[in-house]
Every structure is written in structure tokens, then in C-alpha cells.
Structure 1
Amino acid sequence: MRSPLGSFDLARPAPDCLAELVPPVAEAVRARAGGLPVERIVYVDTDPAVADTAAFVEHYGRELLERSANCVVVAARRGGESTLAACLVPSAGRVDVNGVVRRHLGARKVSFAPMDTAVELTGMEYGGITPLGLPGDWPLLVDAAVVEMPYVLVGSGGRRGKLILPGELFAALPGAVVIEGLARPVD
């Protein structure tokens, strides 16, 4: 199979790669999370040593920066309670944590969740967190620009491998809310 983005040595339909995916992501693919047409999700094998965005695009091609998205976990606090959520934004931008996210979640303060918390509660590896397979009670805030991309490269749940899927499919994931301006440009 040919990858819809980039030049990867190995690209296969995600349902054929369940053993390569971390358990929550494999289960989401197996269960067709949100009614997703999982046959449109492609798994590409990548080097785990270059999983972080800057190293990844340096290794696999700078053009992928404009065609990829990052999923980050945030902790919103209000009145002594904390709520976790995930945000999916284009890799070329930054999550507007203290503006758009804070207002949308009705929080007094929002910050990035500690790495240990994000890893433990998602069942995914840091640097590979993806919107597929997130805890079902978490909101998933998706920047509208991601939904408009024909294909988007995201983490696979682990540092090895990435997933590529049509941007419109992110809007169909459980808990997804599409938001204009969730990301702001990187300075």
C-alpha cells in the first residue's frame, strides 16, 4: 500500500496492524470508534528515536509539518476540581491553552497535564499520544484546520509508528468538538 502522505517504507491499513498499536488504540480501531471507516486509517512504521515533531520532520521531510497534528493532554481546574481533556492542533501551531481552551472548558486555569498522568490515563507513550483510544469521558477539542486537511499524520499511541487519516474523521471521534482558532501560530 502507498502512504497518502510522505515517503514511508511501510504503510498498511491500521486494522492489519493491531499488534503494532498500543492496546487502547488497537481497541478503538477494532471497535470502529465513532463509526470510523477504519480501512481509511493508514499505519506507517517510523523510527521511535525521531517521534517528536521537530526531529520527525527533520528526518522524514519538512513538508510533513504542514500535514500533521499533535495531540496534547490538558488539565483544567475550577473550584478545586480538575478535568482532563485532549486537544488536537496542527503541528505548526500551539494550543491556545489560556484562551480558547480555558474558556471552552469553563476553567479558571488550564495547563498541560503532567507527563506521568497523561501516559497513565491514556495507556499511550509520551510523544505518541493520539486522539484514537482516549478515555471516553474526556472532551477532545479539535482545531477546525485539522478537520479541513485531506489527510493528517498523527501519533499511533506509541513512539514507533504514526497514523494517517482524513482530517474529517477526527470530528467523528467520541467526545470531539471542532473549534475554530484552537491553535495559534508558533512565534
Structure 2
Amino acid sequence: MSVALNWVDAGEHEHLTAAPVREAVRGHAEVRVAPIDPELADTAAFCAHYGMNPETSANCVVVAAKRGGETTYAACLVLATDRADVNGVVRRHLGARKASFAPMAEATGLTGMEYGGITPFGLPRGWPVLVDEAVAATPHVVVGSGLRRSKLWVPGKLVAALPGAEVIALAQR
């Protein structure tokens, strides 16, 4: 038996989002937030417990791209049923010699978000946000809130319109 989520206006419940996320979702009435058990923040456990379809949940990962001794960062957003092609599509798109998932301490330190709650909303200015075309085409998708204790429910088209967002074929299916 799954537990029902209570989706509410994120702008009216700012305590349920990380500080950088608050600013990014402010004024977007279509962004909803729901409290969850932080022990169930990981996508598979979240979907199983709350009865959510993994095809309407998306994972946001931070990638460190290296070229010529410099490291740049980007966020990648793919449906929970897919994996981001970090070593192929992402690396080539960013023009990097090497690309890999950023270490947890770097990802959380740079974003101001909790591990397991990283979201494409409120990322550092100038970061590319690579959004898989399947995420952009999803009417509504569940993403992190910057905290492990809540999730956001947002239109896929809003994610595709975020600052720095680029919709590409990013996933390995």
C-alpha cells in the first residue's frame, strides 16, 4: 500500500525547499512541493513507498567535466528509468576530455543542496542544465527540492525553460 503525497504550493511552503531552490521557484505557482520521509529520498524507495511511477520521476546529477586542467560543472536531468550518458553525450556536449559524476562533497558544496535532493532549480549561475528530451516532454515530473525531506512536482516544460537549460537526447535507454 502506498502513502499519498500532499502536494502544496512551493512558494507558500518555502521551508520545504533548500535556500537556492526557494528563489528559483518563487513566482511559479505551478511548482508544487510535498514533504516525504528523508530516508525514502532515493528514487527507487520514493517511488515504491509513495506509489509514484518512475517514468514521472527524474534524477538530477552533477557532472564534473575536465579539459586542459580546468574543471567545469553541469547538471544532467534524466527520467528515473534512464541513465545519463556521461562518458559519451555529456562529455562531447561539454567539449571535455573527461566527464564524471562530481564527488558528493563537491556536488553538495557547490549547489547548497543535500545529497539525494539535488534539483535543476537554483543551481549556480552559468551552469549548463542538460535536460533529456523525455523529461521535457513529460507533463509533470517529480524532482528533488534541494532537501532530502521533500520533492517538487513540476511541468516538464518548466524544467526545459530554466536558465542554462538545453534539451538534448541525453539518456541511455
> What SS does the corresponding residue of 2:114 show, helix, strand or coil?
coil
Identity %: 60
CA distance in 1, matches of 2:123, 2:53: 24
**What one-letter code is carried by the residue in structure 2 that aligns with 1:57?**
C
Residue 89 (structure 1) shift: 0.5
Q: CA deviation at 1:7?
A: 6.2
Instruction: Give deviations 1:158-183, integer Å, cap 9, x for gaps.
Output: 00110001101111101000002x01
How far apart in 2 are the matches of 1:44 and 1:16?
12
Greater helix fraction, Structure 1 or Structure 2? 1
Aligned residue identity for 1:15: G
Task: Please give the root-mean-square deviation of Cα atoms over the aligned residues, in Å.
Answer: 1.3
| Residue identity opposite 1:54 in structure 2 | A
Q: Which contiguous aligned blocks of 4+ residues in structure 1 show a shift greater than 4 angstroms?
A: none
- Where does residue 47 of structure 2 map in the other structure? 57
Distance 1:9 1:70, change over 3 A: closer
**Deviation of the 1:10 alpha carbon:** 2.0
- Cα distance in 1, alignment partners of residues 48 and 25 from structure 2: 29
Distance in 1 (CA, whole Å) between partners of 2:50 and 2:10 is 20
Q: Paired residue for 1:140?
A: 129
Between Structure 1 and Structure 2, how many residues are aligned? 172
- Alpha-carbon separation, structure 2, partners of 1:152 and 1:10: 15
Structure 2 residue 1 is matched with structure 1 residue 12: no
1:78 aligns with 2:74: no
- TM-score under structure 1 normalisation? 0.88
Contiguous gaps of at least 5 residues in structure 1? 1-5, 33-37
Equivalent in the alignment of 1:174 = 163
Alignment partners' CA distance in 1, 2:90 and 2:102: 13
Normalising to structure 2: TM-score of the pair?
Answer: 0.95
Counterpart CA distance in 2 for 1:138 and 1:26 is 18
Aligned partner of 2:38 in structure 1 is 48
Per the TM alignment, residue 103 of structure 1 is displaced from its structure 2 partner at its CA by 0.6
CA distance in 2, matches of 1:159, 1:9: 15
Partner of 1:119: 108
Matched-pair contact (CA < 8 Å) for 1:129–1:157:
yes
